[in-house]
């Protein structure tokens, strides 16, 4: 599906305003069409139905004429096109529809990828007027308390931002004085924001500001507990999120906060992540859309992880949320595929004893994987006609020659042609490790060993438990050396 991205959209809007005076140019992409996603994606199936009614957002931008503008909304870490409007010769255009918009922060995107933002809540019949010279300073709002409040804050921050920019020009020549003034402005903005949030505590803008705030860590009551600050921060990280309101999904805040928590706050180990993500998802159950997004993000993130062993987290999420029917947005076809993945991958998780292999060597004798007597066994699934296998095999053989006193390689060809396999062995002189193949075609390498492409490497300990997998041949030496130091007495 073709996508249209509106890049380098310039305007000091919410994504910048909520962090105070950091006036930097951001780069956003707005999809002209909703991107094609898998059925497990949170935006692909059931979504919250907009409230009954209509929306009508009348806009006038002085200095703009005879063009087209777009209405887009944030969702997670992306922005999606929602509506299109033609601009007349006086700069007037209207976005309107027969069902109300879902709440959140929306972008009015103009030519040359400039844009300004609007808050959408229950007020969906309002007007905005500004000009191309300065969207924020010249903005006028009618019939929308939320946007009036929003631009009240933006206009204040806009002025302070210009003061900061002017001061920074003299930073090199008068650093002490300028630094003091910058600190003073920062304090002033912080105090203004506190007063603003108290004054407008029921507004959606304040709710988003609160969600973006970092947690304040109290003084450590037990100086002997060196991890107090971290544990407090982790346990209270989401205290400022209203888990009952899914409008926060359609802002630039929630995804960023979630991403940081999953990838930087909690320990990047499967067992720890399982515990912490289950706690997070339990919080999100207060709202079906937030629950859906958190489950989807946790799953997608674990599926794409480059950390070995993280598939244990993926399998846990599949079993607890998808195969139990809790992931209500997933259709049966996708659920069946997930079930198949669990059946294939769960027996091959780190720490599991690998399924035994009954393959024949070049003398037509069965050589069973579990019969190998070695401290470590490297299982090498390959295809003799695979170019990547042909590059990896020499590296693996070199590793084997250096470690053959405590390592055996079980080189299993998935190719069914006897002549190709034997030619590969003879040509490369791979005769002193264990060469085997599935002569009787009894082994389903895909379902038994998750071999969907080659080569695939598993590293086993003496008990044939999987201690590493899908390593490159050039990574084996470091792995074996480090593992031996940590585990072999």
pLDDT of residue 487: 85
Q: With bands split at pLDDT 50, 70 and 90, how would you rate the model's confidence at 43?
A: low
**The pLDDT value given to residue 31:** 34
Percent of the chain with pLDDT over 90: 84
Banded model confidence at residue 174, pLDDT cuts 50, 70, 90: confident
For the cut 70, the answer to whether the pLDDT of residue 465 exceeds it is yes
pLDDT greater than 60 at residue 404: yes
3-state SS, one letter per residue, for the chain = CCCCCCCCCCCCCHHHHCCCCCCCCCCCCEECCCCCCCCCCCCCCCCCCCCCCCEEEEEEEECCCCEEEEEEEEECCEEEEEEEEEECCCCEEEEEECCCCCCEEEEEECHHHCEEEEEECCCCEEEEEEECCCCCCCCEEECCHHHHHHHHHHHHHHHHHHHHHHHHCCCCCCHHHHHHHHHHHHHHHHHHHHHHHHHCCCCHHHHHHHHHCCCCCCCCCCCCCCCHHHHHHHHCCCCCCCCCCHHHHHCCCHHHHHHHHHHHHCCCCHHHHHHHHHHHHHHHCCCHHHHHHHHHHHHHHHHCCCCCCCHHHHHHHHHHHHCCCCCCCCCHHHHHHHHHHHHHHHHHCCCCECCCCEEECCCCCEEEHHHCCCCEEEEEEECCCCHHHHHHHHHHHHHHHHHCCCEEEEEEECCCCHHHHHHHHHHHCCCCCEEEECCCCCCCHHHHHCCCCCCEEEEECCCCEEEEECCCHHHHHHHHHHHHHHHCC
194-219 mean pLDDT: 93
Q: What is the pTM of this model?
A: 0.86
Q: What is the pLDDT of residues 77-100, one digit of tens each?
A: 999 999 999 999 999 999 999 999
pLDDT above 60 for 395? yes
Is the pLDDT at 386 greater than 90, yes or no? yes
What pLDDT score does 415 carry? 85
| pLDDT greater than 50 at residue 12 | no
Statement: residue 489 has pLDDT above 70: no
Whole-number pLDDT of residue 21 = 34
Question: Looking at residue 442, what is its pLDDT?
Answer: 84
Predicted confidence band of residue 36 (pLDDT cuts 50, 70, 90): very low
* Per-residue pLDDT, 9: 37
Query: Which is higher by pLDDT, 186 or 40?
Result: 186
| 345 vs 9 pLDDT, higher one | 345
pLDDT digit string, tens, across residues 273-291: 999 999 999 999 999 999 9
Percent of the chain having pLDDT more than 70?
A: 89
Per-residue pLDDT reduced to its tens digit, 301-358: 999 999 999 999 999 999 999 999 999 999 999 999 999 999 999 999 999 999 999 9
| Model confidence band, residue 7 (pLDDT cutoffs 50, 70, 90) | very low
| pLDDT band per the 50, 70, 90 thresholds, residue 51 | low
- Residue 6: pLDDT over 70: no
């Amino acid at each position: 599906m073709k996508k249209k991205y509106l890049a380098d959209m310039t305007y000091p809007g919410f994504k910048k305003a909520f962090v105070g005076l950091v006036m930097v140019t951001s780069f956003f992409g707005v999809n002209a069409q909703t991107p094609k996603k898998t059925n497990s994606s949170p935006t692909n199936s059931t979504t919250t139905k907009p409230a009954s009614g209509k929306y009508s957002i009348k806009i006038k931008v002085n200095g703009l004429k005879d063009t087209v503008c777009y209405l887009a909304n944030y969702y997670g870490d992306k922005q999606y096109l929602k509506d299109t409007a033609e601009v007349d010769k006086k700069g007037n255009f209207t976005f309107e529809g027969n069902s109300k918009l879902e709440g959140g922060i929306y972008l009015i995107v103009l030519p040359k990828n400039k844009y300004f933002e609007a808050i959408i809540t229950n007020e969906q019949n309002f007007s905005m007027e500004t000009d191309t010279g300065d969207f924020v300073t010249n903005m006028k709002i009618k019939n929308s308390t939320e946007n009036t409040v929003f631009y009240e804050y933006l206009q204040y921050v806009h002025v302070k931002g210009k003061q900061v920019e002017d001061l920074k020009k003299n930073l090199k020549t008068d650093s002490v004085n300028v630094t003091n003034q910058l600190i003073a402005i920062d304090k002033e903005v912080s105090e203004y924001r506190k007063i603003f949030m108290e004054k407008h505590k029921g507004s959606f803008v304040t709710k988003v500001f609160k969600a973006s705030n970092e947690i304040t860590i109290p003084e450590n009551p037990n100086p002997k507990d060196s991890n107090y600050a971290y544990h407090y921060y982790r346990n209270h990280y989401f205290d400022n999120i209203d888990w009952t309101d899914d409008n926060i999904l359609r802002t630039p805040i929630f995804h960023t906060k979630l991403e940081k928590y999953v990838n930087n706050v909690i320990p990047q180990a499967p067992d720890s992540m399982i515990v912490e993500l289950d706690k997070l998802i339990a919080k999100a159950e207060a709202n079906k859309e937030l629950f859906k997004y958190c489950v989807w993000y946790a799953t997608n993130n674990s599926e794409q992880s480059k950390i070995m062993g993280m598939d244990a987290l993926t399998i846990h999420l599949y079993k607890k949320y998808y195969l139990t029917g809790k992931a209500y947005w997933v259709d049966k076809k996708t659920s069946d595929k997930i079930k198949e993945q669990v059946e294939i991958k769960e027996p091959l998780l780190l720490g599991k004893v690998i399924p035994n292999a009954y393959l024949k060597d070049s003398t037509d004798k069965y050589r069973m994987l579990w019969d190998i007597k070695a401290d470590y066994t490297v299982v090498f699934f390959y295809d003799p006609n695979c170019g990547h296998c042909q590059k990896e095999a020499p590296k693996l053989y070199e590793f084997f020659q250096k470690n053959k006193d405590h390592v055996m390689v079980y080189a299993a060809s998935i190719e069914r042609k006897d002549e190709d396999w034997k030619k590969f062995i003879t040509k490369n002189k791979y005769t002193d490790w264990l060469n085997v193949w599935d002569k009787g075609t009894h082994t389903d390498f895909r379902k038994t060993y998750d071999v969907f492409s080659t080569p695939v490497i598993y590293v086993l300990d003496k008990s044939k438990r999987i201690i590493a997998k899908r390593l490159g041949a050039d990574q084996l030496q470091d792995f074996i050396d480090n593992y031996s130091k940590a585990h072999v007495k």
